[in-house]
Each structure stands twice: as structure tokens, then as C-alpha cells.
Chain A
Amino acid sequence: MITFTKVSKQYVDQTPALHGVSLKIPTGDFVSIVGQSGAGKSTLLKLLSAEEKPTQGNIVIDGWDITKIKNWQVPYLRRQIGVVFQDFKLLPKRTAFENVAFAMEVGGALPKDIRKAVPQILKLVNLLDKSDTYPNEMSGGERQRISIARALAYKPQILLADEPTGNLDALNSWDIVQLLMKINKLGTTVLLATHNDDIVNALKKRVVTLNQGKVVSDQEAGTYKL
């Protein structure tokens, strides 16, 4: 369970990026977060991964109040939360396998565990045959799947996807969304920030709409409407 209680976030003195946001997201939920550019979608996700800290309010993840998280605790939080971005953020000089292994190495996994787990994760994202391929030899959709595979390296409770389909065509986008659904079915809470109305409408999942930092609608099986 993720709980936002009256959360505000103000970057340097301007209108707040988030303003009095209260949300409850039960474990295993799939939530799309929509809104115009600058509405505060990315900010909401960054607060969860502790890239930013809220100016006001409280954020609690499974009983852990991360509102005033200490710097040294952030790595532990990050290992429970997978993150995926529009620009993939893969290491170009490493193969698909190595990119996923990288995340496990950082967490101190043993080489034999890495050798065992990475193929399983690559299989989950349907890219086992691309193990030894470098990112620049892959399509955008494939790259995004590798980045999702990396996000899954720690078997996170929560997956944050910030416009993961932003750089992809419709077909590839749909592939990625299918994958996110599959991961969600396996028990991971998924938060998807997106502009893509077709996807949101087809998902028939919960939709939270932000406007100028405020939650303006929150519907189960919602649709994209601005």
C-alpha cells in the first residue's frame, strides 16, 4: 500500500509542481497517471523513488514513512522500486544481459545468482535470444523491454514507469503495456505516467488525472479525458 497524504512539492519559488495530493494505492494495483505536460506526473513518481523530497505532507510505502528518508536509506528504497523511463537509460557498451546483471551487481548479488536470474528475467520480457546484443542493435521496443528487465532485477514491489512508450510507435507501445500488465499480474504494483490516451482507454484500469499539481479525477476503470 502506497499512501500520499496532502503531499505538496515546490521546486524553486514558482507554482507548486504538486499541491495537496492525497492518494491510496493498494498493493497489486495498476494505476495510470495522466495529465498535461507540466501537470506533475514525473514529480509524483520521483517522490516515490526519493529522487525528490516532498515540501509538505507524508508518503508511506508499506508502513515505511519515506517523507524524510535519510540519504543512506535511499538505496534500500530503490531496490524495492523499479523505475523505467522514456529514454531507457541503458549502458551502450554493455549487452542486454550485462545491463540487467549490472543492477544485480550493484545490489551485491553473487555471480552464480546473477547467471541464474538474468536469463529468467530476460525470458519474462521475451528477449532471451537478445542476451548478447548491444542496445544500439535493438529496436526501441526491445530496449524498453531490457530496461524493464533491469527494473525487475530486484523483484521490486513497485514498478514506476514514466512515459515508457513516449519514444515508441503504436505497436511497440502496446507490447510494452502488455508486458507491464503481465508484471502487474505477477503481483507488482505498477504506476504508469503517460500521455497516450489510446493505451489508457484500452487498459480499463484505474486512472488518476493531474492538473497543475492537483488530482482532478481518480476513477476505477477510467478513461483518458482532459
Chain B
Amino acid sequence: MIGISFARVLRNALRNFRRNVWLSIATTVIMTLTLLTISFLYAVNVLGVHVLSTIEQKVDIAVIFKDKTTPAQIQTIKKDIELRSDVESTRLITADQAREDFRRRHADDPYIEEALRELEVNPLPSSMFIIAKDPRFYETINSSLQSEKYAAFIDKVNFQNSKAVIEKMIRIMDVVKNAGLIITATFSLLVILIMFNTIRLAIYSFREEIDIMRLVGASRWYIQGPFLVESVLVAVMSVILSTSILYFSLHTMAPQINQFFFAGQNANFDIYQYFVDHWLQAIGIQFGAAVLLAVVSSYIAVRRYLR
């Protein structure tokens, strides 16, 4: 008896959907758009967090020594730097080590191997990486490295003002997030309004039938169920639609997206792979939002027009 009544509720829900089919489709489209903006927000957040952490990891100063700087001189400079109170640590890569590293990285490339052997002198310089105790200190460390004192030994100091980059990133992300939230809120409101009206119209077009249902002893679930189920069906269809759109657009656009966010940072983060790995979460968030919107709007309509 429970089974058959559920089947009938489902049948009536589908019939409701068909009765105002264009309105139902419009609701589904708007709901899908809402879910896509929510997913977009989510993706931006994920990307932002990863971009920030790769940038933060990468923050350091790289000192490239001149070829003629002797190992002893390099050691002196290293000690000198390490004594600074704003320096956390240093890491020295001597020319020999650099060559070894290079060799190892191209171990399966015989041409490079040969080219290195033919060169009498090591073309790679010695270098040193400096990590500050706080990103804010890089500026001062950088400027002291640029001073006269080291000019004879240091070829180049590679320092990108990452703090500014990070701050800019955070600012951009905030703007995107706020815009996304406003768009999501607007769409959500639209979904609730349209869905509320769809259900209201459906109730209106079946009022005669509903009156008779009451008369012959239909339970509340039998009368109200179809409208709630109809809205949940719209929610489920929207989740399927938006997930498919999300999947295919990530599938085709992931390289460009990754390139855009991680250009020149050799980070091995792939937004498509992330989505595939976190599919349950991605669908779950959409499903939760969709069902919440659906149930809220249909419940209000049912409360209001089916008492």
C-alpha cells in the first residue's frame, strides 16, 4: 500500500511537470544556472587556495653567484646571511651539484649527456636559496644583497615580490567570490520565485481534482506529495544537467584554466583531475543546494495554497 501510493504520488508529480511543461523547463534551467554559479564559486575557491599555496611555497630569494667567486667566498657569504635575524635558512647549490642535478634530470637524454662531457667548464653557476622567517622580510634581505658589499661576487638576485602578488591574488579572489555570491543569491531567489509559481500554477490547475481527493479521503501526503516530489525531480534534473556541463567544460577547458592560474609555476595541479577525485563532494554540494531550494519553494507554495 505504501509502495503503490508512492508510485501514484510519483505519477502525479510527473503529470504536474507535464501540465506546465515550459514553466517546469524554465525552472530547471534557472536551477541549473544557479548550480553552475555555485560550482564556479567552489572551483575558484579551490584554485585560489592552490595558487596561493604554490606561490607561498615558492617564495624565496635565489642568489646566483658569479663564476669566478670561489667556494670559500661563497661559504663566507652564506655564513654572513645566515647570521641575519630575519633569515630562516639558506640552501647552497654548488656548481658541481647543479651539474649533477641537471644530469640526473636528463639522464635519459644521451645528447645532453654528451654535450656536458664535451664542455670543459661547468656552464652552471653556484646558487643559494634564502628563506625568510616571514614573507615581509624579503624586501630588506633583497636590498642588502644588492648592496656594494656583494656586488663583486653575486651575479644576480632573483626575487619576485611575492607578497604583492599574493595580496593581489587574494584581492582578485575576494572580488570573484563576492560577485559569485551575489549572482548565486540572485539566481537562488529567482529559482525560489519561479518554482513557487510553477507549483502554485500546478495546484491551481488541479484544484478540482484536489477538492475531490480531499472529499474521498486522500491523505495529506497523497495530496501534497506530488508537488514536493515534482520540485525534487526538477532539482535532480538540474544537478544532472549542471554536473554534465561542469564535467564537459572542465574536460575541455582544464588545460587553459590550469595555464591561466598556474602559468610558469610548474605546479602539478589539474582542476579536471581535482573534480574527478572529488566528484562526490562536487555533486553533493549541488544536490544539497538544489534540494534545499526546491523543498523551500514548494513547501511555501503547498503551505499557502493547499491548506
Contacts and interface: CB of A to CB of B under 8 A. Distances in A.
Given A108-B4, A110-B4, A75 B218 contact: yes
B216 A77 contact: no
Overall SS of chain B's interface: helix
Category for how many chain B residues contact A: 10 to 19
Most A CB within 10 A of own CB, among B5, B215, B219 = B215
B212 A153 contact: no
B215 to A, nearest CB: 6
B1 A102 contact: no
Contact of A91 (B208, B217, B222): B208
A78 B216 contact: yes
Contacts of A76: 217
A48 to B, nearest CB: 13
A105 B213 CA distance: 10
A75 B217 contact: yes
A71 B211 contact: no
B212 A79 contact: no
A91 B211 CA distance: 10
B264 to A, nearest CB: 66
Overall SS of chain A's interface: helix
Contacts of A74: 217
B220 A106 contact: no
A115 B207 CA distance: 26
A60 interface: no
Interface string B286-298: 0000000000000
A78 B217 contact: yes
A222 B181 CA distance: 76
B167 interface: no
A107 B1 CA distance: 9
Interface in A71-110: 71-72, 74-79, 83, 89, 91, 102-103, 105-110
Interface of A: 49, 71-72, 74-79, 83, 89, 91, 102-103, 105-111, 150-151, 153-154
7 contacts: A72-B219, A75-B219, A77-B217, A91-B212, A102-B216, A105-B8, A109-B4
